[in-house]
Amino acid sequence: MSNTATQQSFMQRNQFLIRRLHSLTGILPIGVFLIAHLVTNSSLAWGWFALKGRHQGEGMSVSEGGVQYFAHEVTWINTQVPHLFLIEVTLWLAIAFHCILGFYYATGGKGNLQHYKHQDNFRYSLQRWSGYFGIFFIFYHIATLRWGWTFLIPEGTAWSHEYSASTLAAALQGSTEGWTAAGLFVSLFYLLGVSLLVFHFANGLWTAAITWGLTVSEHAQKKWGYVCAALGAGLMLAAWSALGSAMLLDYDTARAVEASILDGHSAPAIDHNPAEHALSDEVTLEANASDPEG
């Protein structure tokens, strides 16, 4: 018995812990970051409506309002979030850990898709292949838009957080002057990549509950499946709306909005604390009312 134990590999001896760490890193921090990332990027589609709800962005089109909101959020993330580099390093390490273990488990498992083409088995195979493709896509996304590997982008567009929307649109469309064949390829690559990552996360949440023993019965797994499917549908909508908005965005229009923000002539900044400003305005009105010459 002891000889068998000593002959086991490190992975076999610690399989219980390692599998749970693998599923945990897929949720924290990777899954949480994916949700925040897609919500922020999709503001290109819904940002104008948020500005209108706050009585801001008057006279702007839906596209311009989306650029305005998105630009403020991206600038805040890149200039105001404390310890951003440490957060990024933690995320990169989690992605590396999850990818390496995922590849190890995927290559060791065998699906039965050819013999049993039912839903669960199809999801198992798609989970593996979405992971393979996801590794490649994440590397390309980070290398081009974060590390500045512009030789991988059509016409070498360099993304910058000051001109986040316009440079993103140029990278996806292939140029600053509209669509190119290379841009269409990159956009389709992004559409496939983000769609597979969203599926990988949503389906991974479902399997993680089984791994952690939270959904033991078939009934519990089915109910949790509905929750994961709803979350996946919401994230897919966010991903597609973000990509669609960037693909349809006019470079010059976005550039003009971003330039006005940098020049200080933009619409009022997004109010992250409306209660505080309302109190300040009330005090100002009272002061003016008490001053007969005001």
14: pLDDT confidence band, cut at 50, 70 and 90? confident
Alpha-carbon separation of residue 114 from 108, 123, 132, 135, 220 (angstroms)? 17, 13, 20, 25, 28
- pLDDT for 2 equals 52
Measuring CA to CA, which residue among 26, 1, 24, 21 is closest to residue 11?
A: 21
Q: Is residue 132 part of a domain?
A: yes
Handedness of CA 240, 139, 198, 46 (dihedral sign): negative
CATH code (residue 244): 1.20.1300
pLDDT for 45 beyond 50? yes
Side-chain half-sphere exposure of 214, counting CA atoms within 13 A: 13
Q: Which residues contact 99 (CB under 8 A, 6 or more apart)?
A: 131, 135
Enumerate the H helices of the chain as residue ranges.
2-7, 10-13, 15-27, 30-41, 43-53, 62-80, 84-108, 119-145, 164-173, 181-211, 218-248, 251-262, 274-290
- Burial class of residue 136 (count of CB atoms within 10 Å of its CB; 0-12, 13-18, 19+): exposed
CA distance 272 to 73: 11
Q: Is residue 288 part of a domain?
A: no
**The token pair that represents 291 in the structure block:** 């001053």
- The domain in which residue 129 lies consists of 29-110+117-272
Alpha-carbon separation of residue 230 from 32, 152, 215, 284 (angstroms)? 16, 35, 17, 47
Q: Is residue 242 part of a domain?
A: yes
Total residue count of the chain as it appears in this document: 294
Q: Which residues contact 209 (CB under 8 A, 6 or more apart)?
A: 215, 221, 224
Which of 100-104, 111-115, 145-149, 195-199 has the least mean pLDDT?
111-115
Q: Is residue 213 part of a domain?
A: yes
| Letter string b/e over residues 202-231, b meaning 16 or more CB atoms within 10 A of that residue's CB | bbbbbbbbeeeeebeeeeebeebbeebeeb
pLDDT tens for each residue of 118-134: 567 889 899 999 999 99
- Burial class of residue 121 (count of CB atoms within 10 Å of its CB; 0-12, 13-18, 19+): middle
Cβ contact 266:260 at 8 Å = yes
pLDDT tens for each residue of 160-193: 999 999 999 999 999 999 999 999 999 999 999 9
- pLDDT for 287 equals 44
Higher local confidence (pLDDT), 294 or 243: 243
Q: Is residue 20 part of a domain?
A: no
CA distance 176 to 253: 11
Mean pLDDT of all residues belonging to the chain: 87
- pLDDT for 118 equals 54
- Mean of the pLDDT values across residues 93-117? 76
> What total of structural domains would you count in the chain?
1
pLDDT for 4 beyond 80? no
Share of the chain above pLDDT 90, in %: 74
10: pLDDT confidence band, cut at 50, 70 and 90? confident
Amino acid residing at 265:
H
- pLDDT for 63 equals 96
Alpha-carbon separation of residue 255 from 18, 163, 197, 213 (angstroms)? 47, 7, 30, 51
7: pLDDT confidence band, cut at 50, 70 and 90? confident
pLDDT for 267 beyond 70? no
| pTM score of the predicted model | 0.85
Q: Is residue 286 part of a domain?
A: no
CA distance 50 to 97: 37
CA distance 45 to 34: 17
- pLDDT for 147 equals 92
pLDDT for 73 beyond 80? yes
Q: Is residue 198 part of a domain?
A: yes
101: pLDDT confidence band, cut at 50, 70 and 90? very high
pLDDT for 206 beyond 90? yes
Alpha-carbon separation of residue 6 from 9, 37, 42, 248 (angstroms)? 8, 45, 52, 60
- pLDDT for 265 equals 58
- pLDDT for 3 equals 57
281: pLDDT confidence band, cut at 50, 70 and 90? very low
Q: Is residue 153 part of a domain?
A: yes
